[in-house]
Chain A
Amino acid sequence: MRRRILIIEDNFANMELMEYLLRAFEYEVSAAVDGIAGIELALTTVPDLIICDVHLPKMDGYEIVRRLKEAQALRNVPVIAVTALAMVGDQEKVLNAGFDGYIGKPIDPESFVGQIARFMRNGPTLKKAAGPAHNTDAESDRRS
């Protein structure tokens, strides 16, 4: 059976990118553009993993993850923040808010699906984070 992933993301291009990548790797993807719709969808479909942005209209990611974690049915569903909040301290803040993982934007398309798969295997209790693409990417050039 194909694994099901719910993406809560308001930016069309970023939604499209993640949907495309995950579908290319045989995941079943459902999408919501705000927290209200996302939580409803999560409760009705109970996906295997939820990807959630932090900056969102109506309800921010922190509130969404709080509500998701309150639902008995979603207790074992990892919720991963994929966000452009990449200042110092943002990752800690996100993980402290209840997210099971953190992936900074821009994502690294080659490793993104692998990271998601790892979070899914590890389940919701193990907090793992993958930094923004440039941190793991040695291509970043620092010579003046």
Chain B
Amino acid sequence: MSFDFNRLVLREMPDGIVITDPAGIVVHWTAGAEQLFGFSSDEAVGRSLNDIIVPPDRIDEENRILQETINNGVCYYESLRLTKGGSLVYVDISSKAIHDTLGQLEYILFSKKDVTHLKAMRDAKLLDAKFRDLLESMPDSIIMVNMTGRIVLANSQAEKLFGYAPGALRGQLIEILLPERFRGGHVAHRSYYFGAPRTREMGAGLELYGLRRDGTEFPVEISLSPLATEEGTMTMSAIRDLGQRRRAEKKFRGLLESAPDAIVIVDQAGEIVLVNSQTERLFGYPREELLGKKVEILVPPRYGAVHPQYRDGFFKNARTRPMGAGLELFGVRRDGSEFPVEISLSPLETEEGLLVSSAIRDISERKRIERSLHEKNIELEAASLAKDRFLASMSHELRTPLNAIIGFTGTLLMKLPGPLTADQDKQLRTIQSSARHLLSLINDLLDLARIESGKVELIPEPVVCQEVIRELTETLGTLADKKRLWFKVNLPPEDIVVLTDRRSLRQILINLINNAIKFTDEGGVLISLCERIADGASHVEISVTDTGVGIKPNEQAKLFQAFSQLDSTSTRRFEGTGLGLYLSQKLAELIGGKLSMQSEFGKGSTFALVLDATHPLRMCKETQP
């Protein structure tokens, strides 16, 4: 029975039992050993332990142990062993020398127990005490792995990144943080790395991915460095999640490329996360040179020192706004040249946190246009001023000689120097009327110039139409009296008030009434005022009707044009400047009114000014220069 138990132990023992000859050639290899090292009994038997499971750098150690076993009969030790897969395992080994009956060394028996996990936990404990504080203070996710690929230390950044509870990664194979498809290759990679450890980027140029506990993958960037400790060489890896950058890129790429501006997206650390091709063109950098760099690379050096502060300020109170409103901003190209820019900032809420998107526009061209427009404006202002001055001095210079002409003609006609003959009187009156005509021309031309250059100042105020008409009829009525014409005014009893420019209204009415008297020799002039409601709007109409010469239908159309004096067959006198009605109509338009005319040749005419009483103020304002 005892024989059966011995067999059972050999077959089922979880530890690996290996028997070699004195030279270290395997003669027996149990199922436990198969389990532990991955080699089957057929593969192992007949080969040297040094060839299959002893790492090359441990062969000397192995030989020493073998010697000790032979010398002392037994030896207990812990060491690293290779598996068939290439990974290292920590094993607790007891060896015993077996002698034949003659006392000759016949076999060596090894019992090998896998303590990889225990070792990792032990290392973890030691390293935790030593390095935890340091690693927690680092911004990156840091994972420390021992030679067996077991995680001995992961800072909380790493735990969070991969979605593990605190401490849950300790003792785990590093491969659990890798997507399944990369695991096999990784074991070989890390064994290889332990063979020649040095600081480097992992898988430079390759797309690397991490695997979260929940099974999701994310792109990573990893840098490796060896760390020599009492417990052997550890590998320290700093892992950076590229997901933020990549995801942001994917999400915004299309949008960004379609924007006309250069767009630079920056994270809270001020690092550029994303740029569009407009940015590459504008600043002259290829994309790769910008990603991950501080955004200050695009800012002229003289602002570089203060910019991070502004940046922090923005993140603290992030809202869409123009950057440095009112300031002159500049960008700097890769070649160091600067150019004026306009920048608008907007916060960008993402799953990975707050980013800021800045739209940057090169405004060199606009600045240039602004400058030239500004210069143009100054020129135009100067020209307008020169024109005003010219008009003012023209007015002054023309009036001065007219003063003497009209004045002395007057003194002569007043017979102050002495009596006049009939011919003298007649000729002096011709001089007088010509001089006055000239004066009217000057006045009308100046008025016209003012209207056309938008210089008429309109002051809308409530004006009682009756008041204005009464006032005018007092002064103008005497002219009608002189010509023995009747002069009637037909005003409604209730005040009609319009909001308008009093001066313009007066000027229009003076023109109309003057004309009516001037061109009427028999009969008289009627001025009437009424208010009409049409289409829901109230209109005030002031009309001047005369019984004068009237205007032929074919001439009526020309009436409101400048210098379209009616010909002598329709008027007996035409002393007008040819500008009166034209001016009146322009003024009527300015105050939001309209001039209309009805006439029958030989019987008389009616000229009417129609004002919109419903919205006169608005209309006045609209027409103000």
Contact = CB atoms under 8 A, between A and B. Distances in A.
- A interacts with B: yes
B526 interface: no
Given A134-B436, A143-B518, A21 B399 contact: no
B577 A24 contact: no
Interface string A101-144: 00011111110100000000000000000001110111111111
Interface string A10-43: 0101101100110010000000000000000000
B580 A107 contact: no
B515 interface: yes
- In the complex, which of the residues A112, A136, A137, A144 has the most CB atoms of chain B within 10 Å of its own CB atom? A144
Interface residues of B, number: 63
A87 interface: yes
A134 B439 contact: yes
A69 interface: no
Contacts of A55: 396
Given A88-B450, A138-B475, A144 B560 contact: yes
Interface string A37-71: 00000000000000000010000000000000000
Given A87-B446, A88-B457, A143-B581, A138 B410 contact: no
20 contacts: A14-B407, A17-B403, A17-B411, A20-B416, A86-B395, A104-B399, A105-B403, A106-B403, A106-B406, A106-B407, A107-B403, A109-B408, A132-B399, A138-B475, A140-B439, A140-B514, A141-B575, A142-B584, A143-B519, A144-B562
Given A144-B565, A144-B579, A106 B402 contact: yes
Contacts of B337: none
Contacts of B400: 11, 14, 84, 105
A108 B392 CA distance: 21
B580 A142 contact: yes
A142 B511 contact: yes
Which are the 8 A-B pairs with shortest beta-carbon distances?
Answer: A142-B580, A109-B410, A13-B404, A84-B399, A142-B511, A143-B515, A106-B403, A17-B407
Interface of B: 391-392, 395-397, 399-411, 414, 416, 433, 435-437, 439-440, 443-444, 446, 450, 457, 475-476, 478-479, 510-512, 514-515, 517-519, 559-566, 571, 574-584
A85 interface: yes
B397 to A, nearest CB: 8
B401 A141 contact: no
A14 B479 contact: no
A84 B395 contact: yes
A144 B436 contact: no
Contacts of B510: 142
A139 B391 contact: no
B517 A138 contact: yes
Contact of A137 (B436, B561, B575, B576): B436
Size range of the interface on A? 20 to 34
B402 A105 contact: yes
A106 B269 CA distance: 80
Contacts of B577: 141-142, 144
Nearest to A24: B416
A47 to B, nearest CB: 21
Nearest to B476: A138
Contacts of A88: 450, 457
Nearest to B507: A142
A14 B391 CA distance: 22
Contact of A17 (B408, B475, B575): B408
Given A84-B396, A84-B400, A86-B395, A141 B407 contact: no
A140 B432 CA distance: 12
A143 B576 contact: yes
Contacts of B580: 141-144
Given A139-B433, A143-B580, A144-B576, A109 B406 contact: yes
B565 A141 contact: no
Given A134-B439, A141-B514, A144-B579, A86 B407 contact: no
Given A11-B400, A24-B416, A109-B411, A138 B565 contact: no
A140 to B, nearest CB: 5
B515 A105 contact: no
A134 B563 CA distance: 20
A17 to B, nearest CB: 4
A86 B397 CA distance: 11
Contact of B404 (A17, A133, A144): A17
A30 to B, nearest CB: 20
Contacts of B578: 144
A144 B559 contact: yes
B494 to A, nearest CB: 30
B475 A136 contact: yes
A105 B581 contact: no
A22 to B, nearest CB: 11
A24 B475 contact: no
Given A13-B401, A55-B396, A144-B576, A107 B514 contact: no
A95 B267 CA distance: 69
Given A11-B400, A144-B563, 14 more contacts: A13-B404, A17-B408, A20-B408, A84-B395, A84-B399, A85-B396, A106-B405, A107-B406, A107-B407, A132-B399, A140-B436, A142-B514, A144-B559, A144-B565
Contacts of B405: 106
Contacts of B581: 142-144
A143 B444 CA distance: 12
B514 A109 contact: no
- In the complex, which of the residues B397, B408, B561 has the most CB atoms of chain A within 10 Å of its own CB atom? B408
Nearest to B416: A24
Nearest to A104: B399
Contacts of B404: 11, 13-14, 16-17
